[in-house]
Structure 1
Amino acid sequence: MDNMAVKRVRKTKTKDRIRLNVRGIVQGVGYRPLVYRLAVSNRLTGYVRNRSGEVIIEVEGERENIESFINELVQKTIEPARINHLLVSHLSPVGDREFIIEESEHSQECSSVFPADLAVCEDCIAEVLDPNSRFHLYPFTSCTNCGPRYSIIRSLPYDRDGTSLTSFPLCQTCALDFSDPMNRRFHAQTIACAKCGPKMELLNSRGMQIAGNWLTETSTALSEGKILAVKGIGGFHLICDAAHMHAIEKLRNRKHRPRKPLALMARDLAVVEEYFEISSRERRILTSRQAPILLLKPKENARRHLPLEVIAPGLTRIGIMLAYTPLHRLLFGGRFDFIIATSGNKSGYPIARSNEEALSQLSEIADLFLVHNREIIIGIDDSVGHVMEGELCLIRRARGYVPELLTFPYPVQADEQKKEFKQFLFSSPIVLGTGGEMKNTFCFLYEDQALLSQHLGDMENLESLSNHRRALKHIEKMLGKTPQLIAYDPHPDYFFSKEANKGPGDVVPVYHHHAHMASCMAENGLISPVIGCILDGTGYGQDGRLWGFEILVGDYTAFERMVHLRPITLPGGESAIRHPWMTGMSLIYEAVQNGDQTIGWGKRLFPCTKEKLPIVLAQLDGRIPSPKVSSSGRLFDGIAAILGICMESSYEGEAAILLSEMIERLDQKVISNHRGTYYPFELKDGEWWIDRFIMQVLLDREQSISAEVINLKFHHTISEMVREGVLHAHKKTGIRSVVLSGGVWNNRYLLSCTKKLLQQEGFSVFTHKKIPAGDGGLAFGQAVSALWRWYQNHVPVGTCKDNRIGSASGKG
């Protein structure tokens, strides 16, 4: 009897119930349908529902099935979905009879991330191109695996009634797809078709509708060399036929964009492979859900069929993206392989979002306007990146990557179960990094997460500032949080410097180059002090001067400037940035220290500026006051001018980019023959002296040494200067971790060359990947630095004297 009883107990299978709180990228990516299918296949009952920023799952069933469900959930959560945190709680069974998807639960706060815009999937494209599909030629086709997300969200949780698609009630057929667990549009919040979804219209520049089929008329207009403003996911593009040289020239002329490179949109991957060199890594990036613009080298076929010198003057790599929406794919038809697709904005303005904005801003640029009636809630530009040393490095972080959450090191380095760490998360303030005035982004830190905004451009006018405020308010609304601690760049002329000090929150000034260093540290999870090699254009330093070629030592809370470029005069101040020949004159004066000789060199090298040379000299010799700078960006400008490559800059960083691209064109034999060659310089009292360096460049120029070889030696010289500076800092501190940050490190050859030199010396070298090396990463560094300084000072938010925390973040 006892044995039989034991056997009966073994045959009886008891039911368990658990709750899973899942945080991460789990909304807007088909996650609830995935949970539903896994629960049903494992014979579990219960429910799944969205709660602002997270997914709540309760499952009930046999223990083995629950364990199988959890394992499958982890294994099958693949891109673009991602689990950051999974909390499991054990509950008492309640006897559910089925598994259901419940209505979303609304709460005041968002504890996790909300979804990014996703490129159209292959299944949807196949339906758009299939004459037998009900989605044939429908430009808003999407499913749970693809389509707009972030740009159309009004509120969380991510449900249709919280997006701009709430204006389009589902037709009966779409409603059936939406409710069918076996359909890939099951609970797809962006589902729409020609019967019930958004509509396209083709308008002229006065806003009047063009008669006829919009797709046919658009194709004809492109063939005729017309420029179209096309409304996409996050805003407008200006497009034209990429093989039509006169159309591209017309676009450049109308947009007042004489030389800045234009991006190409390709019909499909096969076209890209036919015209451009592409590695397996680049192929995966280009076809990813993020679908960024990627810098690729053209093949001879591209040089024969595309006017590359008009598309990207002087550049060896072209920005390429795939058609990432059904609308974009339809634009190609059978006529075009590539179209120009550049941001739809008036020069200096943010990207146009609404039809009204586009007609107002772009009526003098575009011939026609291809618009739709789906509202874009928040504008977002295309992301831009390139592959360096096998890794994607983002130059501009926006569509597809924002609002993905980032991790960063916390001031309390304790196990998450320890009381101290939990107290830190509970008491730590919500931090806002306001970013810089160029390539602006902002960054929120809350709990243990960082949200870096999309690229917002240069803060040049009221429209740009308004766009920044709108994006900030949008994030605040999504998160249900407002900043309590605000980090800003203390440049006295920056708008954000003034606005931050007027605000209600506590403020933390973080110097420009300290923010760069902190940004690279945080991205790489570094805690201990590092040597920071910060090379960029210009940033405000503690001495009131413009910095940009620095070796710093420090951590998140403080820094010391160990080595820097001996300051040179910047004639005309920051306006010289647009006139590299003026910086060239400054370098010449540093080398010869003689006014007559400087004028003589100026007449030979810059003959078109003869009348302006005396006034420039008066600034160089001190008769007219001018600021001093220690900037690598300005050094690149001056060398580019001396080599005759860039006298006038038409876009930010043009001179430096052209020098970088010149090396890309060099034969490997030339590079091998000059490996290790560099110009002489001196490191004295913590300053790099470059007078002999520049003098030798001038002599090489006079002796007709090719600009390519001089430029190669120039790059080697910068690498050697950095190496010497790092060794100097190491001897004083013993530190062996080095971070490279600042926009100059987007230079592929310079980064590779310098990294190898430092690694040969035994240093561990860390660089940027997900966070832009340029000013687009400043906000991240500002925010993390502010949080660490807040913790170090142990000052409760709201009690800081003069509203400041650690107003000096380093020492000179």
Structure 2
Amino acid sequence: MSVDGARERVRIRVEGTVQGVGFRPFVHELAGTYGLSGFVGNDASGVFAEAEGDASALARFVGDLGGRAPSLAVVERVVTESLPPLGDRGFRIVPSDAAAAPAALVSPDTATCGDCLAEIRDPDGRRHAYAFTNCTRCGPRFTIVRNVPYDRCNTTMAAFAMCDACAREYGDECDRRFHAQPVCCPACGPALRTAGADGRPAPGDPVETAARWLLDGRIVAVKGLGGYHLAALADHEDAVARLRARKHREHKPFAVMAPDPAGARALVDLDAAAAALLVSPARPIVLAARRHGARVAAAVAPGNRELGVLLPYTPLHHLLAGRLARPIVLTSGNVADEPIVTGDAEALRRLAGIADGFVLHDRRIETRADDSVVRSFRGRALPVRRSRGFVPAPLRTPWEFPRPVLACGAELKNTFCVARAHHAFLSHHIGDLENYETLRSYQEGIEHFCRLFGVRPEVVVHDLHPEYLSTKYALELGGVELIGVQHHHAHIASCLADNGTDGPVIGIAFDGLGYGDDGTLWGGELLVADLAGYRRAGHLEAVPMPGGAAAVREPWRMAAAYLTAAFGEHVPWLGVVRRNRERWANVARMALAGTNAPLTSSAGRLFDAVAAIAGVRDTAGYEGQAAIELQQAADPHERAAYRATVTGDVVIRGTDLVRAAVDDALAGRGAGTIAARFHNGLAWAAVRAARLLRDRTGLDTVALSGGVFQNVLLLERLVSGLEDSGFRVLTHSHVPPNDGGIALGQAVVAAARERSARDAAAS
């Protein structure tokens, strides 16, 4: 740009998450501040603009596009091109240009802002108690958008024509609803209604009716941003017990919505990081230690020292919470492991046997999205489920995806990923691909993401397990290049991508099960890996898994396998043997003979075995339950550790840990001591294995991934041990360490292989 006082014009392209976040109104206001003329608009790639004026003002304007952007915007790049001045006057917002292929980024749904909340609470305002109040700083985005650019006509708000008052706000550049696409009010927007269990309309104000039902101990299905929730008063013992029974959810904890941050602190202990996550615009469920005396029913989180708490994030939640001023159970509106319900007719049909009443509305949900779940670890987020509030914000990678990619993910906790250029779009939580409804949701989600982000996959990546439905889906696609990626390599690659590094590293991948290169079931792996490749450098010793999948549901079977491996035919007469004596001999023989007993090195199955030996749990109602409860049982003050041999070929002897647990059990030591010493011992052995590999490879960075590392007790012990040994340790902070992050790992592995092949060909 030239000297001050000279008039210049530039064409501007702004890339990133700049649609649906008030960016065009921000540009309009900023241009007025600097006295510039020109225009700004949306297109399928982001925001375009032309600006003309004094050269120095123009330079400051361009710099402020990224430096002073709205809080919900993520500006990745600002590109300018000089143009000859036109001498025009005024700055305007122009109609969107949807001609190009979609490439714009879509904002996640965002919790109600303070200004909108004040309007809802103002008895003299026209949006008093209106459950769909929003502005450019808050409200629905991803769950209502059908296509880009993000304009009202491309959302499910297209069904609601703005009234004159809303249209004036929409067109007023001084109003915070200037070009807010979902703007509405009681005169022109969606409306709540209530229905009884039989689906017939219920009279009265919907919020008051729902509050009365909840106070009476009823279960209420409430339509939220990404689907229906089932609600009950969290301190009502009978209501929560009935919800658990009707939903066929015998063991998994329920989330609890507190009315405000003070109410959350009455339930759980929050460190600074957890407190920040709780009030963030994403409003996730935050897992934290339950406070002594927290007023929740026993059935909310049976046998769990933690609670998952969240704060209201829609106007409807705020209205209900304000009316009740008590914590509310808020759990996914589904039966067992089916997808969360989104449609009104579907809710009345599928939730009829669970809910005593319904709060419905007539704004359609385009994409279902469960609540996100996070915890804090060492001052950062540790995601457990990444969904509403975070999706579809992309992960920007330092490396390019040479061709458009679809990564199909795993079987459990499934997410998929589509990727192009430097963006990886990890999907919302799909769930376990074990029924038709979830598989259909998975397929619809892939089609929606590909359309929304302009991705036509040329490369499709899948897990090696031939029976995963995600693998079968990939193999049925035509006209694409198929790439198989080993499960645990994908885990480590996911952690590398999460940290923006390509390795090589020592990767420790501990999880339930994954298909290994040798045809056995891996799950306790030490890899030497980068994005493009890996070698298996060590692992937990392999033991039989009696009954295959039955051992996942019945952890005592893994106790039989480990005890048989450790003691042969002379297994001590422990409680787990006595409790399962009718079937013990047959299962032990199965393990010894290897009949219907595939070998596994799974860390998750080792946790199952120790949980059964310690008397914590013999059978599981959901995957990982025994391991979770073993962690919950552990005495956090116990520092003694079981010792396990790490062999010269870097095999960790899990049977050593089991023998030590048996000795403590026979000595009468409780589950708290056994659980803690086991966690400490496994961490010690993993550190020892990493040190051996460092001696052989020279690598001093360790990446930790896999579902077992949701266990913060083990994670803390292992990270501390590694750091004390001089390692740099990489953990997850943007995507889950569990199988919800697998698809990202698959995508970056495929891209790295292609880049390596291209570079090799060029040389």
TM tier relative to shorter chain = over 0.9
- Determine the structure 2 residue equivalent to 1:130: 122
- Determine the structure 2 residue equivalent to 1:272: 264
SS, match of residue 313 in structure 2: coil
- Determine the structure 1 residue equivalent to 2:593: 622
75-84 or 618-627, which deviates more:
618-627
Q: Which amino acid aligns with 1:711?
A: A
SS, match of residue 587 in structure 2: helix
Asked if structure 2 preserves the Cα contact closer than 8 Å seen for 1:682 and 1:690, the reply is no
In structure 2, the CA distance between the partners of 1:184 and 1:646, relative to structure 1 (3 Å rule), is: same
Answering whether residue 554 of structure 2 is matched by residue 579 of structure 1, we say yes
- Determine the structure 1 residue equivalent to 2:573: 601
Aligned pairs for 1:288-687 (under 5 A) are: 288-302=280-294, 305-307=295-297, 309-410=298-399, 428-504=402-478, 505-594=480-569, 597-598=570-571, 601=573, 604-622=575-593, 624-663=595-634, 666=635, 670-671=637-638, 674-675=639-640, 677-687=641-651
Asked if structure 2 preserves the Cα contact closer than 8 Å seen for 1:259 and 1:313, the reply is yes
Asked if structure 2 preserves the Cα contact closer than 8 Å seen for 1:109 and 1:481, the reply is no
Deviations 1:156-201 (A, max 9, x none): 1001111000110011111111111111111111111111000111
Q: Which amino acid aligns with 1:678?
A: Y
Deviations 1:120-143 (A, max 9, x none): 111111111111111111100001
Q: Which amino acid aligns with 1:306?
A: V
Tell me which of 704, 711, 729 is aligned to 2:668: 704
In structure 2, the CA distance between the partners of 1:364 and 1:731, relative to structure 1 (3 Å rule), is: same
Deviations 1:719-749 (A, max 9, x none): 1121122122222211111100001111112
Structure 1 residue 144: deviation in Å? 0.6
Q: Which amino acid aligns with 1:266?
A: A
| TM-score (norm. length: structure 1) | 0.91
- Determine the structure 2 residue equivalent to 1:416: none
State how far apart, in whole Å, the 2-side matches of 1:89 and 1:752 are: 50
Asked if structure 2 preserves the Cα contact closer than 8 Å seen for 1:177 and 1:185, the reply is yes
SS, match of residue 275 in structure 1: coil
- Determine the structure 2 residue equivalent to 1:751: 715
* Unaligned 5+ runs, structure 1: 1-9, 412-424, 798-812
Regions of 4+ moved over 4 Å: none
Structure 1 residue 70: deviation in Å? 2.2
SS, match of residue 56 in structure 1: strand
State how far apart, in whole Å, the 2-side matches of 1:12 and 1:320 are: 55
- Determine the structure 2 residue equivalent to 1:774: 738
State how far apart, in whole Å, the 2-side matches of 1:795 and 1:773 are: 30
* Unaligned 5+ runs, structure 2: none
State how far apart, in whole Å, the 1-side matches of 2:234 and 2:375 are: 21
Tell me which of 16, 22, 25 is aligned to 2:17: 25
- Determine the structure 1 residue equivalent to 2:73: 81
Answering whether residue 57 of structure 2 is matched by residue 65 of structure 1, we say yes
Structure 1 residue 795: deviation in Å? 11
- Determine the structure 1 residue equivalent to 2:233: 241
SS, match of residue 349 in structure 1: coil
State how far apart, in whole Å, the 1-side matches of 2:234 and 2:760 are: 57
Tell me which of 151, 156, 163 is aligned to 1:164: 156
State how far apart, in whole Å, the 2-side matches of 1:190 and 1:620 are: 60
Q: Which amino acid aligns with 1:558?
A: G
Asked if structure 1 preserves the Cα contact closer than 8 Å seen for 2:5 and 2:56, the reply is no
Tell me which of 201, 218, 232 is aligned to 2:210: 218
Structure 1 residue 480: deviation in Å? 2.3
- Determine the structure 2 residue equivalent to 1:800: none
- Determine the structure 1 residue equivalent to 2:728: 764
In structure 2, the CA distance between the partners of 1:11 and 1:214, relative to structure 1 (3 Å rule), is: closer
Structure 1 residue 52: deviation in Å? 1.1
Structure 1 residue 445: deviation in Å? 1.5
**Superposition RMSD on alpha carbons, in Å?**
1.8
State how far apart, in whole Å, the 2-side matches of 1:11 and 1:571 are: 79
SS, match of residue 13 in structure 2: strand
In structure 2, the CA distance between the partners of 1:124 and 1:764, relative to structure 1 (3 Å rule), is: same
Aligned length: 759
State how far apart, in whole Å, the 2-side matches of 1:210 and 1:265 are: 25
- Determine the structure 2 residue equivalent to 1:198: 190
Deviations 1:594-645 (A, max 9, x none): 1xx33x535x334332211122122022073411110000000110111111
48-57 or 65-74, which deviates more:
65-74
State how far apart, in whole Å, the 2-side matches of 1:335 and 1:363 are: 24
Asked if structure 1 preserves the Cα contact closer than 8 Å seen for 2:419 and 2:455, the reply is no
State how far apart, in whole Å, the 2-side matches of 1:689 and 1:12 are: 73
State how far apart, in whole Å, the 1-side matches of 2:266 and 2:474 are: 51
45-54 or 272-281, which deviates more:
272-281
783-792 or 12-21, which deviates more:
12-21
Asked if structure 2 preserves the Cα contact closer than 8 Å seen for 1:219 and 1:333, the reply is no
In structure 2, the CA distance between the partners of 1:460 and 1:768, relative to structure 1 (3 Å rule), is: same
- Determine the structure 2 residue equivalent to 1:730: 694
Structure 1 residue 402: deviation in Å? 0.6
SS, match of residue 229 in structure 2: strand
Structure 1 residue 39: deviation in Å? 0.5
Tell me which of 182, 192, 197 is aligned to 2:174: 182
- Determine the structure 2 residue equivalent to 1:689: 653
Structure 1 residue 757: deviation in Å? 1.4
Asked if structure 1 preserves the Cα contact closer than 8 Å seen for 2:104 and 2:148, the reply is no
SS, match of residue 580 in structure 2: helix
Structure 1 residue 367: deviation in Å? 1.0
Asked if structure 2 preserves the Cα contact closer than 8 Å seen for 1:252 and 1:258, the reply is yes
SS, match of residue 108 in structure 2: coil
State how far apart, in whole Å, the 2-side matches of 1:796 and 1:499 are: 31
Q: Which amino acid aligns with 1:531?
A: I
State how far apart, in whole Å, the 1-side matches of 2:78 and 2:211 are: 49
State how far apart, in whole Å, the 2-side matches of 1:567 and 1:482 are: 41
In structure 2, the CA distance between the partners of 1:762 and 1:565, relative to structure 1 (3 Å rule), is: same
Deviations 1:234-278 (A, max 9, x none): 100010111111000000000111110000111112222343322
Tell me which of 250, 255, 263 is aligned to 1:258: 250
SS, match of residue 447 in structure 1: strand
Asked if structure 2 preserves the Cα contact closer than 8 Å seen for 1:552 and 1:559, the reply is yes
SS, match of residue 320 in structure 1: strand
Asked if structure 2 preserves the Cα contact closer than 8 Å seen for 1:53 and 1:114, the reply is no
- Greater Rg over alpha carbons, structure: 1
State how far apart, in whole Å, the 1-side matches of 2:62 and 2:599 are: 62
